Amino acid sequence: MDQLGWVIFLVALMFSVMLHETGHFVMAKKFGMMCTRYFVGFGPTIWSTWRGDTEYGIKALPLGGFVKIIGMHSLDDVDDPADELRSFRSQSALQRIIVLCAGSFMHFVLAFVLVAGLALAIGIENDNTTQLGTVTTCVPASNADLNNGVCGDSTVKAPALLAGLRVGDTVVAFNGHPVSNWTQLGDLIRDSPVGSTASITVLRSVNSRKERVTLYATLAHVPGRTGAYMGIAPATVFQVASPWHAVTWAGSAFGEVLSGSAKAIADLPAAVPKLFSKDRADTAGGSVTSVYGAAEATGEAVAANVGWQYKVEYVLLLIASINIFIGAFNMLPLLPLDGGHVAMVVWEWVRARFARLRGRPDPGLVDMRKVLPVSFSIFMIIVFFSVMLILADIVNPVSQLGQ
């Protein structure tokens, strides 16, 4: 099952990368730019075919993919001068920016679809329900024992157990008060007098039918804890959302992951010194991971002894989060990232506007020879951080710290 998780993650990662390249490809084609190659993978070509002026193919190493648009910058030669009008650099600034942003946009679309689809198909995880997931056997001897989930020295049976409550029952009323979530039910229990007899109305499955049953419990007291105690805890259920709720939930989750991604990127430099420390999980180094760490987490999730809904939820949310992170990271205004190329296009547009206002000729494209050293330096920094994260996830994974 571990290996299956790895396969799922790697296939999803490959799909995400190719979706990124497809975004560039489709928008470039739409604006009439010449795309000469669209390939899955790198290295030697296994198979290819031509459609129009584009070669489509598969290469030997399934580690990503690429699309080739002619004339991307000032150093990119165009073989046939007649094709210059269809080069990337010959198009308007707005069209070039749209093509450059299309890759990250596809990551964002994929993430949104995955999260919304999860809410529609499987449901949203909810632990604020009145369905019982736990019926304890005892009244804990102290508040500390309660928090640790143990009885301690107590041999007193829990009121819920004595009343006959069962895991799977759904509480619909407490002392005649209708309840629809755990917050309401918990408040009613705690506010009831200790030692009083409470009525609990539940829906219970009997022979594939739901029956309404009313039970009675004498509420107890846990030393050191305020309020009455009954000995129940909610189940976590998956509730299928309406289309509108799925969209709003996906939007909220997207915003949370995006802000978290921004924080993770900002914390990355400070995280490096803590990546190999014993307390990594409690530092900035615990909030960032590599492709290896994400694949390992997917494998662990698939192999975990939990329900299939939890596995699917975890994997889909992880893949969505990674796509949001990649999309956001890719738009940083740093070369060789797409965001860096967007910044160059904007700078070219600003220079042209100022030149026009001053009655001077358009200075043209940015001289790539001047920015190549910066681009290479940033690329090496990205490689450095990537390698450090992979090594840390191999020798000091967060999930195994302290074991």
Phi-psi region of 195 (alpha: psi -120 to 50; beta: other; left: phi over 0): left
- The DSSP string of 149-208 is T--TT--PBPHHHHHT--TT-EEEEETTEE--SHHHHHHHHHHSPTT-EEEEEEEEEETT
Residue 278 · residue 395 · CB < 8 Å = no
Task: Tell the burial category of 288 from Cβ atoms under 10 Å away from its Cβ (0-12, 13-18, 19+).
Answer: buried
Supply φ then ψ for residue 51, to 5 degrees: -130, 110
Phi-psi region of 115 (alpha: psi -120 to 50; beta: other; left: phi over 0): alpha
Residues 291, 8, 2, CA angle at the centre, nearest 5°?
Answer: 85
223 CB-near residues (< 8 Å, 6+ apart): 141, 142, 143
Query: Tell me, what DSSP letter sits at residue 220?
Result: B
Task: Tell the burial category of 75 from Cβ atoms under 10 Å away from its Cβ (0-12, 13-18, 19+).
Answer: exposed
Q: Which of 21, 296, 313, 348 is catalytic?
A: 21
Query: How many residues can be counted in the chain?
Result: 403
Residue 296 CB neighbours (<10 A): 21
Supply φ then ψ for residue 240, to 5 degrees: -65, 130
Catalytic residue status for 21: yes
Query: Tell me, what DSSP letter sits at residue 240?
Result: P
Residue 239 · residue 126 · CB < 8 Å = yes
340 has which bridge partners?
none
- Point out the residues that are catalytic: 21
